[in-house]
């Protein structure tokens, strides 16, 4: 069956359909990874986007459930040069096309993905419509113009309830803005007691969980579409150690008084060079984001830049000057990508231990007794006021 991809500037690509059928509108982006298409498909940060793989052969090792980064894919379309529907991998459980059909995702193959990628790099990311229908191009353009891009991706991909992955060491509250499984794997590998909370969890709800530290996950879309999250982070800054990843990094910046802006075509792939300013060392990182922290907006805040992108000099890491809090724009848990930066999870735990050593909490028994005495005192005052009023 024929499939077509139409960009908002009128560029039309015609290829073969694999996966589901119908129409799908989304922001057309590209990923430069050579491997890891399954992790890309299951990364919630791609919610609302039509993803183009620049590597020409996709599907050759099939689909393996153990390699998923979320419970299901959230992408709005998949674009490849050549699609292989018969995988040659002993671990494969089913084919790429079967996965797309299962979740109603349209795939298109047989188009010039190099031309498409160059067009996005020159023009910037664009809205597009992927279709298997026979509609006229003019009709598709009208449909594309009338369809707004999503702004509620975070609420779509976040967990709706609190759940726990018990451990024996530090309790980490993971705020799920579209978290990848890799983050949870890195925390549980370090025996952390992890509690996952929804994206709209309030500061008070998180306090009641008595965390040792808070991790702000990755996620899709514009950080300014989730202002309640930046407000929550601002309330908790200084109270608990905080570590932000990707969208969590951008929200941490907004909470600290900085600003964010959209990149022309974003960073998506597993080979992005990032320089750590303190050591001068360069790390190869996995990235997936379309927004960045505005460099000029850092001035006048208590944030300092710790990492920069060696390709375009955009901000890749921040640290708070007063409070135990830091963030990175890239993915230290990789999946897919290199594990160069997994040490950041250890730095986060070291920061938690240092914070606890320097801020001894009063024994819980003393806190309970103090609260009890405060309630009794308030009750006695109320009784006295009532007795006086009766007189």
Annotated binding site: 45, 219, 221, 247, 250, 288, 290-291
Whether 333 is catalytic is: yes
CA distances in angstroms from 133 to 1, 14, 137, 139, listed in the order given: 10, 12, 11, 11
**Other beta carbons within 10 Å of 136:** 9
Torsion of CA 197, 203, 206, 211, to 10 degrees: 120
Whether 192 is catalytic is: no
Dist. CA 385–CA 380, nearest whole Å: 9
Q: How many residues does the chain have?
A: 391
DSSP-derived letter for residue 52 is E
H-helix or E-strand spanning residue 296: none
Token pair of 107, please?
A: 């795939």
Token pair of 43, please?
A: 């990364």
Cβ–Cβ < 8 Å for 82, 44? no
Alpha-helical (H) ranges within the chain are 37-41, 96-102, 113-123, 137-146, 153-157, 181-189, 203-207, 227-236, 247-255, 343-358, 364-390
> If you compute the radius of gyration of the chain from its CA atoms, what whole number of angstroms results?
24
Q: How far from the centroid of its chain's Cα atoms is residue 225's Cα?
A: 13
Cβ–Cβ < 8 Å for 25, 129? yes
**Which pairing describes strands 213-216 and 242-245: parallel, antiparallel, or unpaired?**
parallel
**Interaxial angle between packed helices 247-255 and 227-236, expressed in degrees from 0 to 180 and rounded to the nearest 10:** 60
Whether 165 is catalytic is: no
Instruction: Indicate the annotated binding residues for L-glutamine.
Output: 45, 219, 221, 247, 250, 288, 290-291
Q: Choose, from 83, 192, 246, 249, the residue flagged as catalytic.
A: 246
Burial letters 355-391, b for 16+ CB under 10 A, else e: beeeeeeeeeeeeeeeeeeeeeeeeeeeeeeeeeeee
Closest by alpha carbon to 270, among 36, 25, 30, 17? 36
H-helix or E-strand spanning residue 150: none
Catalytic residues: 246, 331, 333
């Amino acid at each position: 069956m024929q499939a077509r991809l139409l960009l908002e500037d009128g560029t039309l690509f015609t290829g073969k359909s694999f996966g589901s059928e119908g129409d799908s509108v989304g922001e057309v982006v590209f990923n430069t990874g050579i491997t890891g298409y399954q992790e890309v498909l299951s990364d919630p940060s791609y919610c609302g986007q039509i993803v183009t793989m620049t590597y020409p052969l996709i599907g050759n090792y099939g689909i393996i459930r153990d390699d998923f980064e979320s419970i299901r894919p959230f992408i709005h379309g998949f674009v490849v040069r050549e699609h292989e529907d018969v995988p040659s991998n002993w671990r494969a459980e089913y084919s790429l096309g079967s996965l797309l059909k299962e979740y109603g995702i349209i795939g298109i193959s047989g188009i010039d993905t190099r031309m498409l990628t160059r067009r996005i790099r020159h023009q910037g990311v664009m809205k597009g419509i992927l279709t298997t229908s026979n509609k006229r191009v003019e009709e598709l353009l009208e449909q594309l113009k009338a369809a707004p891009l999503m702004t509620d991706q975070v609420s779509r991909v976040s967990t709706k309830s609190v759940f726990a992955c018990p451990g024996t060491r530090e309790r980490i509250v993971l705020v799920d803005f579209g978290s990848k499984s890799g983050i949870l794997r890195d925390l549980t590998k370090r025996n952390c007691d992890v509690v996952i909370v929804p994206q709209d969890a309030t500061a008070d709800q998180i306090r009641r969980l008595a965390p040792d530290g808070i991790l702000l996950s990755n996620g899709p879309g514009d950080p300014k579409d989730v202002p309640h999250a930046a407000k929550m982070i601002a309330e908790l800054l200084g109270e608990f150690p905080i570590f932000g990843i990707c969208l969590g990094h951008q929200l941490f910046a907004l909470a600290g008084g900085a600003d964010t802006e959209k990149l022309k075509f974003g960073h998506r792939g597993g080979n992005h060079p990032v320089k750590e300013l303190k050591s001068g060392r360069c790390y190869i990182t996995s990235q997936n984001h379309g927004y960045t922290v505005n460099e000029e907006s850092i001035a006048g805040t208590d944030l300092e830049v710790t990492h920069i992108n060696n390709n375009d000099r955009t901000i890749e890491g921040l640290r708070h000057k007063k409070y135990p809090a830091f963030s990175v724009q890239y993915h230290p848990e990789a999946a897919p990508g290199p594990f160069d930066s997994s040490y950041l999870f250890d730095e986060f735990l070291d920061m938690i231990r240092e914070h606890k050593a320097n801020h001894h909490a009063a024994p819980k028994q003393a806190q309970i007794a103090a609260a009890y005495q405060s309630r009794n005192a308030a009750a006695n005052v109320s009784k006295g006021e009532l007795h006086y009023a009766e007189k």
